[in-house]
Amino acid sequence: MIQDLHVAQREEDIGFYAGFLGASYMVGRGFASIFWGMVADRIGRKPVIVFSLFTVIVFNTLFGLSVKYWMAITTRLLLGALNGFLAPIKAYSIEVCRDDEQALGISIVNTAWGLGLIIGPAIGGYLAQPAKQYPHIFHDKSTFGRLPYLLPCLCISIFATFALISCIWLPETLHKHNKFEMRAETAEAGTTQESTESPKKSLWKNWPLMSSIITYCVFSLHDTAYSEIFSLWTVSGRKYGGLSFSSKDVGQVLTVAGVSLLVYQIFVYRWLNNTLGPVNSTRIASALSIPIIAAYPFMTHLSGIRLGLALYIAAMIKSVLAITRVSGTSLLQNNAVPQGQRVLRME
């Protein structure tokens, strides 16, 4: 996309501008995440989820319509700032499940997130620049020929539209009691209001929570950097240390990684969490991630079947380890705070 926007003067500068474009979404999220967490803890999870899905439909489509670099950055920034549903969905998945099903609930959400990071670029690889990839279907002067990145964005927006419609049947899990009801309940119990209420513990002084948040931040940085760099690295030329893959080749790798992730979540993760627990599973996944990532630069010395085999295996293992870490830290964060502060700490 950076190349088609004609903002980079040299081919080796594409990664520089792509970095700013990718970071704009996270900058928006960074400024607004705490606000959306407070809103979700005050008015409920469902309103935030519904509004966030609506912003995805609008701004993701506008991103596909971008013909200037500043337009692309602006739409990504606004999408990040107005999209606050990741933490409410995590809290929702835990609150809607029984205690013995919480690991499965949070793993489903994190797997969906991981699949999005994988399938999203795969959709882009298959559907971006359709006039070049599928000239027998799309003409150069057609809408999708003039706007080569609109088609994948429209597909994602259509999917988000169906998700938004499904929210009609989504029950609210945050239950608030008014003061009159609370007084009545405490009177029936023969106690005073003051004796039953305990002040909320400061999140900053909750060390189990803060330690899990620090771990989550470190590996979120790692996973985000990987997802942003992977596509650039694979499509870059060999002279720049890349693999000279086509967009379709990258899409195939990410699709296989996504399928392996889904199989792992359905058949393996719940058993692994019950056996090792969230702490040990997170530790093991973190340790195994180091040699996997360290092996990527050496793949440039491979070619043919050996390169494909190594890259497919590494991508699958990397995806599985990432979901194991994220699911484990999410469970640790949930167990460290009461319901009324869950979304705020997940932001």
Q: For residue range 262-285, list pLDDT tens digits in order.
A: 888 878 888 888 899 888 999 999
Q: What is the token pair recorded at 90?
A: 């995590």
CA-to-CA dists, residue 22 to 125, 174, 226, angstroms = 16, 33, 12
Query: Residue 186: pLDDT band by 50, 70, 90 thresholds?
Result: very low
Calpha distance 202→162 (Å, rounded): 39
Q: Domain 2-170+206-346: give its CATH superfamily.
A: MFS general substrate transporter like domains (1.20.1250.20)
In this predicted model, which residue has the larger pLDDT, 189 or 12? 12
* Cβ neighbours for 246, distance < 8 A, ≥ 6 positions apart: 235
Average pLDDT, the chain: 82
Query: Residue 190: pLDDT band by 50, 70, 90 thresholds?
Result: very low
Q: Quick check: 192 pLDDT over 60?
A: no
Reported pTM? 0.69
What is the share, in percent, of the chain residues with pLDDT greater than 90? 26
Q: For residue range 226-259, list pLDDT tens digits in order.
A: 887 888 899 888 888 889 888 778 888 888 888 8
Task: Give the closest residue to 2 by CA, choosing from 312, 228, 293, 303.
Answer: 228
Helix %, strand %, coil % for the chain, to 5? 80, 0, 20
| pLDDT at residue 85 in the model | 82
Q: What is the token pair recorded at 273?
A: 């969490």
Local structure of 213: helix, strand or coil = helix
**Max mean pLDDT range (99-108, 255-264, 300-309):** 300-309
In this predicted model, which residue has the larger pLDDT, 197 or 39? 39
Give the 3-state DSSP-derived string for 97-133, with helices as H, strands as E and coil as C: CCHHHHHHHHHHHHHHHHHHHHHHHHHHHHHCCHHHH
Question: Which sequence spans correspond to the domains of the chain?
Answer: 2-170+206-346
